[in-house]
Chains A and B, each alone.
Chain A
Amino acid sequence: MIAELVSGIVYSSIILLTPLLLAGIAELLVEKSGLLNLSIEATMLMGAFTAFMVAYYTQDLLLATITAGVAGIIMCLLFALLTVFLSLDQMVIGLAMNILTIGMTSYLYRASFGWYVSPVPPHIKETIRPIEIPVLSDIPLIGEIVFHQIPHTYLAFLLVPLVWWFLFKTRLGLKTRAIGEDPQVADYLGINVNLIRFYILIFEGFIVGVAGSTLSIAYYNMFLDNMTQGRGYIAIALVILARWNPLLLLPASFLFSFIDAAQLRIQASGVIPFPYQFSLMLPYLLTIIVLIIAGRKVKGPAALAKPFKKVR
Chain B
Amino acid sequence: MPLIRLENIVKIYPGGTVAVDNACFEVEKGEVHALLGENGAGKTTLMKILSGCLKPTSGSIYVDGRRVEFRSPAHAMKYGIGMLHQHFTLIPSMSVLENVMLGLTDQDVKKEKLLKDIERISKFLRLNVDLRSPVHVLSVGEKQKVEIMRMMLLKARILIFDEPTSSICGPDAENFLDMLKKLASEGYGIVLITHKIREALKVCDRVTVMRKGKTISTLKRDEIKDERVLLEMMLGEHFLPEVLKQPREEYETPLLIVKDLVVKNDQGVVKVNRVSFEVRKGEIFGLIGVEGNGQKELIESITGLRKQLSGQIIFNNSKYSSSPSYIPEERMEVGVAPSLSVMKNAVLRDFEREEFSGRYGILKFSKIGEITNKIIHFMDVRTPNMNLPVKYLSGGNIQKLIVGRELMRGSELLIAEQPTAGLDVRSAYHVRKNLLKLASMGVGILLVSSDIDEVLEVCDRVAVMRDGRIVRIFNASEADPKRIGMYMLAAEVGLSSQ
Contact = CB atoms under 8 A, between A and B. Distances in A.
A197 interface: no
Given A188-B73, A190-B77, A312-B72, A175 B102 contact: yes
A192 to B, nearest CB: 10
A178 B102 contact: yes
B102 A188 contact: no
B55 A178 contact: no
Q: Which of B92, B101, B103, B109 has the most CB of A within 10 A?
A: B103
A256 B15 CA distance: 53
Interface string A293-304: 000000100100
Contacts of B90: 185
A176 B34 CA distance: 37
A311 to B, nearest CB: 10
A174 B102 contact: yes
A182 B91 contact: yes
Contacts of B73: 188-190
* Residue of A181, A190, A302 contacting most chain B CB atoms (<10 Å): A190
A171 B107 CA distance: 11
Contacts of A185: 89-91
B93 A190 contact: no
Contacts of A189: 73-74, 89, 102-103
A70 B89 CA distance: 38
A190 B77 CA distance: 9
A191 interface: yes
Nearest to B74: A190
Contacts of B98: 174, 178
B333 interface: no
B100 to A, nearest CB: 11
A91 interface: no
A190 B70 CA distance: 12
A181 B91 contact: yes
A182 B135 CA distance: 14
A186 interface: yes
B222 interface: no
Contacts of A148: none
A190 B101 contact: no
B106 interface: yes
B233 interface: no
A64 to B, nearest CB: 38
B339 to A, nearest CB: 12
A312 B72 CA distance: 8
B94 interface: yes
B258 interface: no
Given A189-B74, A312-B54, A312-B55, A171 B91 contact: no
B53 interface: yes
Contacts of B72: 187, 190, 312
A177 interface: yes
A-B residue pairs, 8 tightest by C-beta: A190-B74, A189-B103, A181-B91, A185-B89, A188-B73, A182-B91, A188-B89, A178-B102
9 contacts: A181-B94, A182-B91, A185-B90, A186-B102, A187-B72, A189-B74, A190-B73, A190-B103, A190-B105
Interface of B: 53-55, 72-75, 77, 89-94, 98, 101-103, 105-106, 109
